[in-house]
Amino acid sequence: MNSRFLPIPWLTRPALARRTRHIAAVLTRHGWGWLLLQVESGRAVSRGRIPGVERPEISYQKQAEHLRLAMSELGATFIKLGQALSSRPDILPAEYINELGKLQDEVPPLPFDKIEGVIKEELGCEVLEAYAEFDPVPIASASIGQVYAAKTKNDRQVVVKVRRPGVTKTIEQDLEIIANMAEWLSLHSSIGQLYDLPSLVGEFSFRLRNELDYVREGRNANIFHKNFSDDPSVHIPYVYWDLTTQKVITLERVSGIKISDVETIRKAGINLKMVAENSGRFTLRQLFEFGFFHADPHPGNFFVQPDGSLAVVDYGMVGRLSNQMRSILLRMVMAMANGDSESLVDELMDIGVTRRLVNRRGLILELNHIFESYVGGNAQFLTATQVLNEILGMAFRYGMQFPGELTMLVRLTTINEGISQALYPEFRMLDFATPYVLKFWRKERSPEKIIPELASTALDGLELSLSLPRRAARLLKQMERGQLEFNINYEGLRQFASQMEKMTNRLAMAILLAAVIVALGIVLVIYHPVTWQTFGQYLFFFAFLSSLAVGAWLLWSIWRSGKS
């Protein structure tokens, strides 16, 4: 198959083919059609040119804006994808991060009769049999679900989130298209050779599918409720499990002032500094104590209570940190606090993924410049957002790709710091976090934590020592018999093999072209049939022009590859 075309054999499926053509048309209208090089089976689209769809000439400065507009027009999956990409400054330039961060997941609501059908099907009864009251006008309407106010039979105020009918099918189609785009880009583009796009799409798909499952969201809320049961500064809504399914979730309705409404909080006589600190403490405990965090921390999900505590809602999108990741994160924070550039680079290179050689010395020098600004008398103006954005910006310049969990927690930290500074301008996450980080650091190295780990390590070492002689003997026997094999997987080999294949194809074509020209000359000299005078000149003229065309194309392709 021609490597310029995107192999999508499933485009023979009519619904998927129609959706693909619609996506291609929207992307083309906004100047991004080259992302889909094939919209129908066996038909390619060059640089996004689709019959009947005008492709505007868009300046470089406007490309990011048009990508945001295209994603907004394409619906739920692409809005979520844009929001996910807005937290990846290690992959995208700053102008794209800023534009995609403006994506709002707000859509016109569906009529209540369609939503009512989903509730009846899921709960197995009429709406007013399940609830004492149910307001048919939605509180909020997003691309995946709509939220309604209701009252239970025991007179409890609740909110009911209902998944939009048909949204799962569209999302699954979109995810399949995006996965195939990522696969093609990973094989045939420079960005695909620099970043692991299929794994990024797989990670995004996993999280989006989780958002579709309201049972999982309820379990997430229960985990948060358990984690913060001892913390009066945080309130997690109760889940009504008898009124919850995969498509419907019923939650305790919380009241309060939206955390971004600073003026109303001030007029209510609530201590703004206390609210800012409660928000910061909530973030730090999620990351360092539990390793389980709210990954959608926009202000609309945080409500301030009269006593200054926070009610936090919406647990469809969460992140998890493994024990290893939490340890690395702690070491990174300690390295930042101590201005230890070399240790921080070691941790970044350990946690990051790169497909090219990283200039370690350059990374250290850039980090030194950041730390110099911190210790050089400007610490009161330095924020965690500045430091983290600098680090992720360096990752982008050096072609490093971080795990999704790390970029999600960076987004959590920066949004939280922005909210807290709006409440209390003197708030600095770096300063506020220091005692908490030290507390978690000491806890990680306490005897209660280390002794069980040492015991487990000693047991593993004992088991290994018992089996080591047998394994060593087996290895030596394989070496003696010549049966020992080594498998080496080097990412650069794929690109090298692709280049060699292109070179071989060009060489074979050049040899074939030369053979045709030589054969043509021999025929002209020794072969003179009766009809030669009539047809020979036309045959020679056609063959000569064809040879010139193929030769010109071959020279142009060689020049283009050398230039790139």
Write the Ramachandran bin of 252: left for phi over 0, alpha for psi from -120 to 50, otherwise beta: beta
Structure tokens at 396: 């982008």
Helix, strand, coil share (%) of the chain residues, nearest 5: 65, 10, 25
Nearest partner of 363 among 331, 328, 391, 339, judged by Cα: 391
Continuous H helices in 424-531: 429-444, 447-481, 492-526
The residue ranges of the chain whose pLDDT is under 50 are 1-12, 37-54, 377, 563-564
Q: How far apart are CA 297 and CA 317, in angstroms?
A: 9
Give me the pLDDT at residue 242, please.
Answer: 94
Show the beta-strand stretches assigned E in 313-419.
318-320, 353-354, 400-401
Give me the pLDDT at residue 530, please.
Answer: 59
Give me the pLDDT at residue 148, please.
Answer: 95
165 and 131 in contact (C-beta within 8 Å)?
no
Q: How far apart are CA 310 and CA 303, in angstroms?
A: 6
Q: How far apart are CA 10 and CA 176, in angstroms?
A: 10
Give me the pLDDT at residue 490, please.
Answer: 55
Q: State the DSSP code for 31.
A: T
Could you confirm whether 296 is annotated as catalytic? yes
Q: What pTM does this model have?
A: 0.71
Q: How far apart are CA 138 and CA 123, in angstroms?
A: 19
Beta strands 310-312; 234-235: pairing state: parallel
Structure tokens at 176: 């399949």
* Residue range 500-556, pLDDT digits in tens: 777 777 777 777 777 777 776 676 666 666 566 666 666 667 776 777 777 777 777
Structure tokens at 185: 């880009």
Please name the amino acid found at residue 218. G
Give me the pLDDT at residue 430, please.
Answer: 78
Give me the pLDDT at residue 268, please.
Answer: 92
* C-alpha torsion angle, residues 541, 544, 550, 555 (rounded to 10): -130
Choose, from 90, 174, 296, 314, the residue flagged as catalytic: 296
Q: Which helix (H) or strand (E) holds 368?
A: helix 360-375
Q: State the DSSP code for 284.
A: H
SS (H, E, C) 48-84: HCECCECCCCCCHHHHHHHHHHHHHHHCHHHHHHHHH
